[in-house]
Structure 1
Amino acid sequence: MADASVKGNMEQPSYIVDVEHLDFSKRRASHHEHETTHDAAEKGHVVTDKYGNALIEIDRAVETKLRHKIDLYVVPTVVLLYLFCFIDRTNIGNARLAGFEKDLGLKGYDYNTILSIFYISYILCELPGTMLCKYVGPGWFIPSCSLGFGITTVAFAFVRTKEQACAVRFLLGIFEAPMLPGIAYYLSRWYRRSELAFRLAMYIACASFAGAFGGLLASGILRLSHFGSTKRWEMIFAIEGIITIILSLISFLTLTDRPETARWLSQEEKDLAVARIKSERIATTEVLDKIDKKKMIGGILSPVTMMTSVIFLLTTITVQGVAFFAPTIVRTIYPKEPVVTQQLYTVPPYIVGALSCVLFNYLSTKIDRRNILMIICLPFVMVGYITFLATTNSQARYGATFIIAFGIYTFGALLNSQLSANVISDTARSGAIGIGVFFCNVGGLISTWSFLPFDGPSYPIGNGLNLATSAVSFAVAIGLEFWMKIDNKRREELDIDSVLVGMSEKGIQDLDWKHPGFRWKP
């Protein structure tokens, strides 16, 4: 039996891990009370004291083994689904180079309008979709949404008018809306606060991998003479949509709602998976509470949620602008190159963005910090857009796309992780992530109008807008860093006993981030 010291109040019970049997030890207290650690995972048991200190001690080797098993079964599926989710969203940029606008007779702002339609339905369905994901269960809901946008992507191969394109993109927005917040919320059911950013990065990095892989895939597809009855840009949507459909059908078999329902975990592993999450959530008796309006609104209106959501909105203008218009920007830099070569030029910056996303979020896991890493990344984005505005040299402008991608693609995972870390209950977390991604997609809608036809070929308005949004994000992130530290110091001076006196267990749980023992996690 591994040995461990009692954490928190000495009168409180402590848990340690039986390394040999992958089980918690018996509960030890001054009264010699004994209880298996299965109880720590059950409803009605709090595993933190009123100061937020964990009352269980988990053997690191055992927990690491469990975490690696969860990584193997959970992460690959959501990574592949989100990869093709983002490809299906942004492949219209690749289709544009292959004659999409000409075939549909698009003029003026028609292309921007088609992009915007997607975000209207996306924004409208964002928060309701996240709540529905919690209600139905991610194991069924996420694959269903993925199947929906796979079918819709195939349908886009057969549009022939602007109106048809708008209608199909509107449907695509409905199915894709819950994917980003839904997967982030789903992963938060499995991982500790410090572990989450890196796992989020593994699938959010797909936003940049999608740009790289989408460009490669599109260039490969365009080498075909036809695919069934589809030709040229039509093949991009048909083939990529079919791949998404196949992955979605497989994911119905591989995804499971939560640790308690995972067929690939033993009962002891299920208990450990639940208890280790509870150990980070003050006054929590159950990891998955029922949908509670008060908790949901509290999660949405948290000061950290609001400020983080503002950063989400501003940085998404750049992320989505790069995704939708990178092929167009490359074409203005290398106008004499053939279409396939232009597609390939879009690939390297995305690879750099994906690697930086994984790198910075791995660092976040190690130091359990998020906000300071955002502050470090934003100057890279600013330098990139200053370069775009300052020169027309092709090599310098192409180099700037690498600098921008290096800084901006870290944000999806860091922001979602920060939203998750700064609330307590499952419902508050779904609300915080949902509203954060709602703001994110308002930024996406704005991005569809950031690079306009009359602004080319240098696009000073679009580049100036992105420089401004990154500068404002930088200021907001710095302000949020100082505010969290100041408020944590204020909380340390509170008399927790006097604040909680006379309150019921439910009343204490309903406090969520307002609990005096809670501390912001920047």
Structure 2
Amino acid sequence: MADEKPGANHKEALHEETTHEAAEHGHAATNQYGHSLVQFDPRAEAKLRWKIDLYIVPTVSLLYLFCFIDRANIGNAKLAGFEKDLGLKGNDYNIVLSIFYISYILFEIPSNMACKWIGPGWFIPALVLGFGISSLGTAFVHNIHSAAGVRFVLGLFEAGMLPGIAYYMSRWYRRSELAFRLSLYIVMAPLAGAFGGLLASAILKLSHFGGLREWRMIFAIEGIITCGLAIISFFTLTDRPATAKWLTQEEKDLAEARVKSERVGTTEVLDKFDLPKTLRGIFSPVTLATSFIFLLNNITVQGLAFFAPTIVKTIYPNSSVISQQLHTVPPYIVGGFFTVLFPFLSWRFDRRLIFFIISAPLMMAGYIMFLASTDARVRYGATFLIASGAFSFGALCNAHVSANVISDTARSSAIGTDVMFGNIGGLISTWSFLPFDGPDYHIGNGLNLATSTITLIVSVALLLWMLADNRRRARKDVDAELAGLSQKQIQDLDWRNPAFRWRP
């Protein structure tokens, strides 16, 4: 027994040395065939993963909660007199919603590029402070012009949050782990619908806040809370593993080496800006197809966020405003459960597309119920089905595009593209439930039935294509394909590298 301990120590020291080398700039963590050169201790990985979970996930989750609240609270304000006080008529409310999405879409990819350049540890808190101030400013608007202007600025700052946090977390987690961790902050979207309704109800019980009353109090109080969280996050959000004071040097090396070990031909976790890799991320077939799916899905998600209070009002027209607000809560709670469940299963099986395929029929069933019945209880039940299927796509789509590129630059642009397309869907959603279509909203519900059906078809087609292309790649001679190429040329291939395999 005495002879075994030195051998074990030598093995452990060798393992630590190899991990350190793999983490260092200039050292590859895979061979040219994409096989990892480093073996990791599962217990050390589990301990590190748990530590990262505790330090990173709660902070970004709280920030994203108020990001979504500050975006969607206009739906609660509408019930509390927003339209009447500003003199909005006809489609004016939809116009105010649409203005938000114009800036939101335009600044999506540029914002994620800036996030990489500046560093998410500084950039994300700055965004939060910006949209917190914008939300606060909404409390002081008096006409459609000032309301639209503030919503445009709000969209500019919020544009970088969903892709920025997804990109930020891809610095810390393996591809199989990412979807579940993304779900832990994206679940704040349905919870924001629930918590936002509860918070709005509580705020509306106040007689006044300073000189502000009714819906203006919602924007002011929630905006102030957001600004406070932003200031705290400047001090608490760690930029990347290498700068994490709460990790030991061994843990920093392990954090970087294990992420690098999944990236074919990569010699650095955080590469410099590179146009070829940026374009690889944007124009990957998987990025484009997944982004289209996210566009379709966001028509449903954003439509539900903005119009759930309106839908509830048609179901319970004689209830008080506060009662109507509270009735929007339960569907979001159920949706939140599935938002975490599907990505959790995705982590365990290292698969994402199969959960696209499972989720779409839930949404289809919900919209069929809306179209087929005018019974209030049936329609209210339909909102539970729709929320159950719709909200998990935020985590799954971003994890899917992240898993199917190699470099950090391509990952940043791929996630930015995915969310940009998603928010084009959000823009469409602002026009999917129009006043003349109420109270049954045949056009809005028919549109959403069509988008969920197309989601199912595209998801199945993408899965079949990825499996077929992987078989084609397996027949290639990797050595012959890469012969004569420099290290930079190999890295610029990204997903075109013949050793790379799509990860459905």
- Per the normalisation by structure 2, the TM-score is 0.97
Pick one of 435, 438, 442 that aligns with 1:456: 438
Alignment partner, residue 419 of structure 2:
437
The 8 Å contact of residues 291 and 421 in structure 2, kept in 1 or not, is answered as yes
Matches within 5 A, 1:323-402: 323-402=305-384
Alignment partner, residue 10 of structure 1:
none
Structure 2 SS opposite 1:43: coil
Is residue 149 from structure 1 mapped to residue 131 from structure 2 by the alignment?
Answer: yes
Pick one of 479, 484, 491 that aligns with 2:461: 479
The 8 Å contact of residues 18 and 38 in structure 2, kept in 1 or not, is answered as no
Alignment partner, residue 23 of structure 2:
41
1:25 CA drift (Å): 3.8
Deviates more, 1:498-507 or 1:366-375: 498-507
Is residue 107 from structure 1 mapped to residue 89 from structure 2 by the alignment?
Answer: yes
Is residue 26 from structure 1 mapped to residue 14 from structure 2 by the alignment?
Answer: yes
Deviations 1:335-391 (A, max 9, x none): 011100000000000011111000111000000000011100100000000000000
Q: Percent identity?
A: 66
Give ranges in structure 2 of 5+ residues lacking alignment. 1-6
Alignment partner, residue 89 of structure 1:
71
1:26 CA drift (Å): 2.2
Distance in structure 2 (CA, Å) of the matches to 1:76 and 1:238: 24
Large movers: runs of 4+ above 4 Å: 18-21
Alignment partner, residue 13 of structure 1:
none
Is residue 295 from structure 1 mapped to residue 277 from structure 2 by the alignment?
Answer: yes
Counterpart code for 2:290: T
Distance in structure 1 (CA, Å) of the matches to 2:109 and 2:494: 20
Distance in structure 2 (CA, Å) of the matches to 1:106 and 1:20: 73
CA RMSD of aligned residues (A): 1.4
Counterpart code for 2:314: T
Alignment partner, residue 227 of structure 1:
209
The 8 Å contact of residues 24 and 272 in structure 1, kept in 2 or not, is answered as no
The 8 Å contact of residues 314 and 443 in structure 1, kept in 2 or not, is answered as yes
Deviations 1:81-102 (A, max 9, x none): 0000000000000000001111
Distance in structure 1 (CA, Å) of the matches to 2:236 and 2:56: 8
Alignment partner, residue 72 of structure 1:
54
Across the two proteins, how many residue pairs are aligned to each other? Answer: 498
Alignment partner, residue 171 of structure 1:
153
1:40 CA drift (Å): 1.2
The 8 Å contact of residues 19 and 38 in structure 2, kept in 1 or not, is answered as no
Distance in structure 1 (CA, Å) of the matches to 2:8 and 2:172: 21
Is residue 406 from structure 1 mapped to residue 388 from structure 2 by the alignment?
Answer: yes
Distance in structure 2 (CA, Å) of the matches to 1:149 and 1:319: 21
1:38 CA drift (Å): 1.8
Counterpart code for 2:421: F
Alignment partner, residue 38 of structure 2:
56
1:36 CA drift (Å): 4.8
Pick one of 248, 265, 286 that aligns with 1:266: 248
Alignment partner, residue 406 of structure 2:
424
Alignment partner, residue 289 of structure 2:
307
Distance in structure 1 (CA, Å) of the matches to 2:467 and 2:274: 29
1:502 CA drift (Å): 1.2
Structure 1 SS opposite 2:14: coil
Deviations 1:193-218 (A, max 9, x none): 00000000001111100000000101
1:47 CA drift (Å): 1.1
Give ranges in structure 1 of 5+ residues lacking alignment. 1-17, 28-33
Distance in structure 2 (CA, Å) of the matches to 1:64 and 1:251: 26
Distance in structure 2 (CA, Å) of the matches to 1:483 and 1:430: 24
